Each structure stands twice: as C-alpha cells, then as structure tokens.
Amino acid sequence: MNPQQHCSWRRWCGLGLRLAGVCAILGLLASCARALTPESPEVKASVAKAVEYLATQPDSYGGAGGRPGARALVALVMVKADLPNHPRVQEGLDAVRNQVLKNPNEDVYTVGLSLILLTELPPERQREYYQDLEQLLERLKGLQKPFGGWGYPYLPTGDTSMTQYAALGLWSAAGAGFEAPPDVWEKLCNWLIRTQAPNGGFGYQGKDPGGYNPVEQDRVSLSMCSAGSASLYVCADHFGMFAAEQKEDDGTNPKLKPRKTNQTGAPSTGTVDPSRLRAAIGKADLLLANFVPEPPDPMHAYPYYYIYASERYRSFRDYAEGRMQKNGYEPEWYTVGARHLMSKQAADGSWRGTDPSVGIVPDTCFATLFLLRSMLKTIRHIKKLDGGTLTGGRGLPEDMEHAKFVMGGLKAERINAPILDLLKKVADSDDPDNERALASMEDGLEPGDEIKTEVAKQLQQLARGKSPKARAAALQALARTRDLDQVPLLIEALKDPDPLVFHGANEGLRFLSRKFYGAGFWGGTDEKTRQDAIKQWTDWYLSVRPGAILD
C-alpha cells in the first residue's frame, strides 16, 4: 500500500470509528429516552436480582427485617412478583398468624402490612385466612385514635406515616369484601384534611387544629406529602368520587352528602365535605406536580420508603384522572424512578438507605415494589381493569350494561320498582332484571307498615328457594327489617352448603345485631369456622332472648 493509499485508508477508518462512536452515543441516548415498564428487560432483571437477594436471606432477615412486619413485606414482594407459592410467602403468613395476631401490642405498620398481604393473596388461598383478615381489620380499627389518625400510643398526635398504612389496609380490605364501619373512614379523612399544611404538604406528626383552617406543620417533607396525599386519594376512592357515574358536584353521592355545620364552620357530624376533600387533593397535586426520585430536603432520610409512597400516590392519581385506563399509558415518572433505582442497586440485588434503622431488607422491598408497580397491580385488580371477580367473590354481574362501581367493585345497578314486583323478579331467575333486582334488594328494602308482613313472608320463601344468590339476598334483606323473629332462620341458613348463602346469613346477623366483627367468614372448606359462627350467633340470640328455642 503506497503512502497516499495508506492515508486514505486511515481517513476512512477514522471516519468509521467516529460514526460508530456517534451511533453508540445515539443508541445510548435512545435507550435512556425509551419509556420503561415493569416488563422492560432491564427492569425484570433488576427485580429478579432483588427477589434472589430476599430469597437467600437468613430467617433473621438482618436488622429491622427480623420483625414480623418485615416478613409480611417480603411475602408481599413475592406475591407481587407472581411467586405466591414461594417459601418466603408462607413465612410471612406464619408470622402474621403466629406473631402479629397473638401480640396485642404490635404497631400500626405491622398490622397494616399484614392486612395488605392477606388481601393480595390469590382468592383460593385467601379463603384460608378470612378469620385472620377479619381480626386484623378489627385490630386496625381499634388502634385508630379518637380524632381519626393512627400513631404511637404514647404520643397524643396522629402519625402521617403510620396512617398511610392504616388507610391502605382499610382500602385493600374493602376491596376484598371486608368493610370497616363508615365512621372509621370519616374520621380518617377529616383528620387528613385538618392536618394538611397550608402549602398542601404534610408533617410527620400531624398538628390537628380541631377545625378546617390550616396551620403550619412540623417536619414537612416530600415523603410525608406523598404518604398523606396517597391517603387522601384512598379516602376519595372509598367515598366513590372516582366512580364512572359520579359527577363532581351533582350531590347525588349519599356517602358524601354535605351536613349542617356549627358556628365554627366544622361539620357537626363526622361526615366528609366533598369540596374540602377535593381542595385538599388539589393542593397536594400542585405541590407534587413534578416527580423527584431522590429529593434533597433535610427530612429525606428514607429514600426507598419515599419512592414506594410515591408509586402509591401517583398510581392513585393516574387512576383518578383517567390515565391508567388508557391503553399504552407509560408514565414518565415511572421511567425516571426505575432508572434511578437501577443505578442505586447493589451488586447483590439489594438497596441500602441512609438510615440503618430501616434495614436492608425493608429498603429492598420498597424499591422492588416500586419497580413492580405494586399499587398499579392492586388498583387494576380491585377496579376490574384487568378482569377478575366482583368484590367479595360474587363474580361480575351478567348484565354489564347496567353495572356500576360501588364500594370498590362492580355491582348491578338498582332498579326502581314496587317492592312486591321487585321480589317477583328476584324469584324468577329468567327475568332479564333478575340481577338488578338482586342488587336493589341487597341495598335494603323499606316497605310501608301496610305490606311489611307480606314482604317478610315472600323474603322467607326466597330464603328457602333454589337460587343461592336469591337466598343470600333475601337473608340480608330480612335482617334489615331488624325483626328478631327472623334470627332463627338466619342461624339455620348458616348450615347451607353454599358459601354465598352462609355469607349472606352471616352478614345479615352482623347488621341486625350491630356486631360487625367476630367469627364467621367461611370459604367452604373449614367446617370449624362454620360451627364457630353458628355457636357465636346462637349464644348472642339467647343473650337477647333468654329461653328462646332454636330448632
């Protein structure tokens, strides 16, 4: 090769190398610009490393991971990672049953996380833990402070951090068919509104002014703002503010019906003013408009706790604003957060926060739950955006044209008809309005005195009929008459071989007796649970009617 040819060759090589470098840079930029989802290869690889790390930790889990709440958290990660049969899941469930439920002094974090874990189990496995789930819900209700928040027993204030896990536990339980009484939700929501700072943020220990004029809060941070704001969205969803049929200001939602106020401007009852709730959410949304994966504020000592709270908040917000329902929606905030987390992951698959008191295992769980889009999965399931069954296991209504969102699940819409006509439709399984009539009856019947006897007679006939759905609905409607003479029939129905009928009778007895907690969620396999429920309600009935004879 002569010198001239050699120079030409070098120029071409140099140009090729430069072009290759440019292409590599462009490829890197394109990779960085590409939106990520939980299904992206690099995200799945990161999650796999984290799961392997969590799976190989010793039983002590190290540091804070030795607590039963951390075991429940690890189990939750495995369930969300589509590994419901992983040994760590059973370890978490055993910790809930053998430690949490047997220790009356467990903290709110542990109780809330345990409750969330049980609600996330596959339906066929969740049935084994119905009584545990119910007991946890009762425990959580009992831990609520009189003003509405949750917190340390030795402090007079409510703790925004603890309250977020209580709120999420209540919401998850409702999605699984286990409802807390309305006043629990009302007190929670009003406390959140009262303890929001003027700028829309939240402090660590909420300063409750007692009214609705906002006051400055202490130790305000983006972590606490994400926690408090997510809880506001949880409450708004529970109250039906995001249901498709609920318009913002039409005043038709009975759960958000405004009440009279006293001279101070505060509600004279515990019910929620929807305009205040919307305003609180609006202020929080403005403050959290831009997602920051690792904020620099001085209170930001728990980066992975924060980013998991952010995923919950932003998932609820996306759902409420209709973005989650759109096909192909890929939020930019997730891409930013996922890239940040993957850059911080240790070689062994773990994440380590700046505060060692949290522990490597919980920090790793929080980061992994963000990558898995944990809240997105739950919302999609509970809201039936991915199919599934009706809340409480009833199945989707057959008449989807007249279905609506109620209490976190799909339910056939009510129809307006005279009571006796309604009962005829319920009795006739071939009637095209049968499903809607069933839903109307479940909401309660209030016949006038002149036809109460006839209605009760027809309900009793339905309760002994062939259709399990009709039997269950009739039993609950009978209970709403508050007639103690119906109790023997309800107790007898607890012996029905169909779990749906058992559930209807049990719920009817709860309503009639005003005893909302106790024995009685039967999944069709545990005969002891059935017998415990029969004994509980028999003992109760004999306590209010001594000497009554039950056949």
Nearest to 190 by CA among 142, 235, 137: 235
Over 70: is that where the pLDDT of 308 sits?
yes
pLDDT digits (tens, 9 = 90+) for 24-74: 443 434 445 578 888 899 999 999 999 999 998 765 444 444 578 888 999
- Give the C-alpha separation, 303 to 319, whole Å: 24
Looking at residue 220, its pLDDT comes to 84
- Helix or strand run (H / E) with residue 379: helix 374-382
| pLDDT given at position 169 | 93
Place of tokens 């958000």: 256
Instruction: Report, as an integer, the average pLDDT of 495-519.
Output: 72
- Residue 544 pLDDT > 50, yes or no? yes
Torsion, CA 9, CA 15, CA 19, CA 20, rounded to 10: 40
Residue bearing the bigger pLDDT, 422 or 283: 283
Per-residue pLDDT at 455: 59
Q: What is the pTM assigned to this prediction?
A: 0.65
Burial track 472-483 (b if 16+ CB lie within 10 A, e otherwise): bbbbbbbbbbee
Q: Give me the percent of the chain exceeding a pLDDT of 70.
A: 67
Which tokens in the block code for residue 78? 């495995």
Helical (H) or strand (E) element with 541: helix 527-544
Residue bearing the bigger pLDDT, 243 or 113: 113
Highest mean pLDDT among 273-282, 332-341, 456-465: 332-341
Helix (H) / strand (E) containing 409: strand 409-412
Cα 436 versus chain centre, distance: 26
| Sequential DSSP letters for 244-313 | TT--TTS---GGG----B-TTSSBSSS---HHHHHHHHHHHHHHTSS--SS---TT---HHHHHHHHHHH
Residue 208 has pLDDT above 60, yes or no: yes
- DSSP β-ladder status, 409-412 and 158-159: unpaired
User: Among residues of the chain, what percentage have pLDDT more than 90?
Assistant: 22
Question: Which residues are CB-neighbours of 347 under 8 A, at least 6 positions away?
Answer: none
CATH, range 46-249+271-382: 1.50.10.20
- pLDDT digit string, tens, across residues 123-135: 778 878 888 888 8
Q: What pLDDT, on a 0 to 100 scale, did the predictor assign at position 357?
A: 64
- What is the tens place of the pLDDT at every residue in 165-186? 999 999 998 888 787 888 888 9
Neighbouring CB atoms inside 10 A of 119's CB total: 26
**Range with the lowest mean pLDDT among 9-23, 294-308, 378-392?**
9-23
Q: What is the residue whose two structure tokens read 């309005």?
A: 433
Contacts (Cβ under 8 Å, ≥6 apart) of 478: 456, 459, 460, 463, 486, 489, 490, 508
Supply 222's token pair. Answer: 């983006």
More confident residue, 509 or 469: 509
- 3-class DSSP assignment, residue 146: coil
Whole-number Å distance between alpha carbons of 460 and 438: 15
What secondary structure does DSSP assign to 331-377, as a single string?
A: -HHHHHHHHHHHHH--TTS----S-TTT-HHHHHHHHHHHHTTHHHH
CA–CA separation, 422 and 57 (whole Å): 59
Every domain of the chain and the residues it spans: 46-249+271-382, 419-430+441-544
What rounded mean pLDDT belongs to the chain? 74
The pLDDT score that the predictor gives to residue 545 is: 82
User: d(Cα 395, Cα 213) in Å, to the nearest integer?
Assistant: 45
Highest mean pLDDT among 337-351, 410-424, 530-544: 337-351
- Per-residue pLDDT tens for 366-408? 999 999 999 888 888 777 655 433 333 333 233 323 333 332 3
For the stretch 220-250, pLDDT in tens is: 888 899 999 999 999 988 887 765 433 344 4
For the segment 435-459, the average pLDDT, to the nearest whole number, is 53
